[in-house]
Structure formats: C-alpha cells, structure tokens
Structure 1
C-alpha cells in the first residue's frame, strides 16, 4: 500500500469504488463489527474510558513507528494543526459514546445505531465537499438503507431490557450509539473538507489517536477507572485486537481509501457493519436476533446496491 502515492492523488480524480475497494470495505466492516463485541467483553475488566484511552495510546505508538518506517513526516508545519485537533476531539467524542453506550446496551444494538454514520456523512459531504454530491439514485439508496436502519431501531426499542437493567438505560445506550455515529460522520467530513484532505493517512490518524488518547485518559483518571482495572487474558486479547487490528490497521486503511475513492460511496458500505456486529453479538455473546432485523438487513443491502449502481445519463444529477 503506497500511502505517499495515495496522498498525491488529487481530489478531482477520486473515483467510485472498484472491486478491490469493495472487497477491502467488506473486510473492514467485518473488523469493525467485531469491535463492539471486543469492547463489551472488556468493559468489566477495564473501565470504558480507560480501555478506550489505552487503545488510542497503543495505536498512536504503532502509527508513529509506521510513519518513521515509511519516512512519512508527522510534525512538519503544513497548516493541518487546527483541523487535526478538531478531528481528534470528534474522534474522542465518538469513542466516549461507544464505550459508555456499551455499558448500557447490547453490542448488536450498538452496531446498528452507530452505523447511522453513513447517512450523516453523505449529508455532510453533500453540503461541504465539492465533487461529493450524490446522484438521485444514490440518494434513493441512502433512503432505502436508512429505512432498514430505522426498522432495526424499532426492533431494538421493542425488545425487553436486559435483566437488572432499566428500559431508560437501554434507550440512553442506543442514543449514545446514534450520537457516536454523528461524531464519526463529522470526523469524516472534517478530514475531507479541510487541509487534512491533503495530509498523509498516517498523519490524519495520528492526530486523532493522540488527541483522543489524552482526552480519554484524563477522563478515565478523573473517574478513577485505572484504580479499579484488572487485566485478564480476555481483556489483553481484546485490547490488542482493538488497538492493532482496529485502531491501527483498519483505520489507516480507511483513511488511505478516502484518498483514492469517493467518501460518500465508501461510507455507505459501512451499512454492512451492523450485519457483522449483530452476527458476532449473537455468536459470541449470545445476544438475541429477530426476524425483523432480517428484513432491516435486506433493506440495508438493497440500499448499498442502489448507491453503487452504475450512473445513467438521465440520473447524472
């Protein structure tokens, strides 16, 4: 993967996803879908903010090492500091919502609610980034996929709360999932609409990891989470997966894709992640799965097909 060459690609030639990008996005969605299970399985051993902060710290060190190995400068003055700081704050906000939300709701439901992000991303890019305007058929696809997400929401709200939990807590967890999706979308828009669009994928990710690590660890110590932490073998494996596979490898790959392909098209593939998230939640955590969600998933997949349908002359607006 040639990051330097990717960054040299001008925004005007970013293109629709090809077969390579599609396969890579499916793999990324599977990695992200498993993330919710990994976080929830570790919340009992490490506090949510402490877990998130350690994850960002480990990944930041890995990104720094990768950049040094590749000869990618991370500290040159290139006018990206303000945008990088904003992206980092939004990134931290996203994971505050995810990690805190997973103490209140299931991994399956979090996966569904978090991945409203592509809808917010498409709206933000449509408003702020030239060349990312959606065609009519693509908007139809987003609408169909959003209907699937809405149906999944309805299914989630209809479920009985977990033993010992209140219905209000579950609703709050779901709301944090949606807010996390908004934060994720806002981060993507900042990356594409500011000077970060011309920065390397390593530097873009480094900003987010360093800023989020500081914010999350300060919050964790303020809440006294490190004093209550206890590392178990499962927690160590989960933390390693989150830091290396998710926060380092998958995010670096995601930002590289953003330099080559249209972000609005890539983001819609994220609708696949709830399917993986629910599947992993059912298989690994024994969470419930309803027939209503099968219908919701079908709508989501139909939306993805519509969004990525070849452009027709009559639909080129």
Structure 2
C-alpha cells in the first residue's frame, strides 16, 4: 500500500512536469487507451466474459471517470500538483455522502458527520489561502484550478456510488476498469481535439511519463489494488490510502519546487483528518468501545 500510494501521488506530479511537452488531457486519453488494451488482453487470457446487463451503468461509470480526469487535466493547468492531489482525494468524502443517501446500510454515524464537517472546513481554509491577493490574477487562476480539482473529486465520488448501487457491484474489477478506460480514451481524445490540447513533443521525459502512467498507474497499480481488496480488510487499506495526498504535497514541493503555504497545509490537514474519520470509521469504532464502556 505504501508503494501504491507513492505511485498514485506521482500521477499528478507527472502530469504537471510534462505539461509543456504533452497536454494533460491528451496524456490521460493515451494512457487510458494503452491500459484498456492491456486490461482487454488480460481478460482474454483469463477467458473472462462481460457480466450481462452491465453496459448501461458501465457507460455511466466510464463517462464519470472521463469527466473526472477532464476536470483534473484542466485544473492542473491553473494550480499546483500538491493542491490537485489534496482536492482530488476528497472523492471518498463525496462517495460517503452519496452512499448515505442511496443505501440504508451506509448511513453516516455522528463521528463520521464530524469528519464531514472537518473536511469541509479544511476545503474552505484551503480556498481562502488560495484566494489571498498576493499575486493578483495568478491567485484567481489557482483558485479556479483548485475548484476544478475539487469537482474532479466529486466526480470520483459519484463513480463509486454508481458502482456500488448498480449491477457493476456484481461484476469483476477488471470489467469495471475496462469500461472506465475505454470511455476515458474515447471521450478525452475528443475533448483534447475540441479544446486544442493535442500538444505532443516526444521528449524522453514525456514518453517515459506516458509509459509510466499507462503501464504502472492505470494498469498495474489498479490491478494490484483490486488484488489487495480481495485479501485484506478494505477499511484498513483505505486508511493507508490517505498517504497519497501527503506524498503528493511532499513530492510537489521536492520535484517541482512548488511553494506550499502554511495555511494550505492547515486546510489539507483538516481535509485528511475528516476523510480519515469518514472512511476509516469501521476501524476506529472498535477502539472507541473500551473507552465508552469505561
């Protein structure tokens, strides 16, 4: 999980580092196409068939997945990789709110509502820091980029809700991933053409990042994640996944020389604490019982 979180945090750093050589939206489209071919080949090798009656929710999930990365790619043109990874990882928070409304078994407990309040307080703090008028228009652009990345997190949360509440909940992980990757490839390729984001200078860094994003991030890391989910408690893995935004902030400052304001770190801390309370509640609850009994 530590290695996976490191890989996922490098995703946004890679987008930002090669943005001059390859447009982020085009990069995401190409990596999705390559990864979709790899997943399809794996399914053929396993003789794995598509589950019946899943194509409609599959198209919805795939469209949401494409929309998430369209927003992320657009947001990274205006904000830093550190900001992007923190706002993107509000996805589990939006998923918890959506599942609370859709599934009776997913009702939020009082401690989880406290986590929601903490997370939204952290988001407000981070936005206030981004709106400080020290650089004029540049800060307005950064604030717009932060908003797009937050919307990407909401799209991620909606994707989770659709998967849990549709026939895809009974489909294999590879099948769900295939729907997402194929739709992302088709829709984002069109979006890149419409938005004029077809820049691709095949430098070593750009090509290396494309291979990393396609083979390591979109194919190997997601399959490794699904493998872990079959062998370990999901809530425990979820707690570990919160290392991703922390790694993202550190790597953005180290590799891209991004300046991280103390106020943003405070807001990010509230966001992570809130998401930890919401998503890690099943692991926190047993620890609270002895104290309550005492």
What's the TM-score bracket when you normalise by the shorter of the two chains? 0.7 to 0.9
Q: Does 1:187 align with 2:162?
A: no
The structure 2 residue matched to 1:309, chosen from 277, 284, 290, is 284
Correspondence list, 1:139-288, <5 A: 139-158=113-132, 160-161=134-135, 166-226=138-198, 228-255=199-226, 270-288=241-259
Alignment partner, residue 13 of structure 1: none
Alignment partner, residue 137 of structure 1: 111
How far is the alpha carbon of 1:237 from its aligned partner?
A: 1.5
Q: Does 1:115 align with 2:86?
A: no
Q: Does 1:72 align with 2:72?
A: no
When structure 1 is superposed on structure 2, of 304-313 and 191-200 the one drifting more is 304-313
Alignment partner, residue 262 of structure 2: 291
| Structure 1 pair 101–297 and aligned structure 2 pair: CA distance change class (3 A) | closer
Aligned residues: 286
The whole-number CA distance in structure 2 between the counterparts of 1:273 and 1:187 is: 19
The whole-number CA distance in structure 1 between the counterparts of 2:33 and 2:107 is: 36
| Structure 1 pair 137–260 and aligned structure 2 pair: CA distance change class (3 A) | farther
* Contact 1:191 1:197 (C-alpha < 8 Å) held by counterparts: yes
| Structure 1 pair 66–295 and aligned structure 2 pair: CA distance change class (3 A) | same
* Contact 2:25 2:70 (C-alpha < 8 Å) held by counterparts: yes
* Contact 1:53 1:217 (C-alpha < 8 Å) held by counterparts: yes
Output the aligned Cα RMSD: 2.8
| Structure 1 pair 130–245 and aligned structure 2 pair: CA distance change class (3 A) | farther
Deviations 1:45-91 (A, max 9, x none): 11222111101101101111222233322xx4511000000000000
TM-score (structure 1 length as normaliser): 0.79
* Contact 1:122 1:264 (C-alpha < 8 Å) held by counterparts: no
Q: Does 1:92 align with 2:66?
A: yes
* Contact 2:132 2:139 (C-alpha < 8 Å) held by counterparts: no
Q: Does 1:101 align with 2:102?
A: no
How far is the alpha carbon of 1:100 from its aligned partner?
A: 1.1
| Structure 1 pair 224–139 and aligned structure 2 pair: CA distance change class (3 A) | closer
The whole-number CA distance in structure 2 between the counterparts of 1:171 and 1:203 is: 36
The whole-number CA distance in structure 2 between the counterparts of 1:262 and 1:139 is: 23
How far is the alpha carbon of 1:194 from its aligned partner?
A: 0.5
When structure 1 is superposed on structure 2, of 286-295 and 265-274 the one drifting more is 265-274
Deviations 1:285-312 (A, max 9, x none): 0001233344445445544267331335
Partner secondary structure for residue 201 of structure 2: coil
How far is the alpha carbon of 1:140 from its aligned partner?
A: 2.6
* Contact 2:87 2:146 (C-alpha < 8 Å) held by counterparts: yes
The whole-number CA distance in structure 2 between the counterparts of 1:159 and 1:28 is: 37
How far is the alpha carbon of 1:264 from its aligned partner?
A: 7.8
Deviations 1:192-216 (A, max 9, x none): 1110010000000000000110001
The structure 1 residue matched to 2:34, chosen from 39, 46, 58, is 58
Partner secondary structure for residue 310 of structure 1: helix
| Structure 1 pair 112–184 and aligned structure 2 pair: CA distance change class (3 A) | same
* Contact 2:83 2:249 (C-alpha < 8 Å) held by counterparts: yes
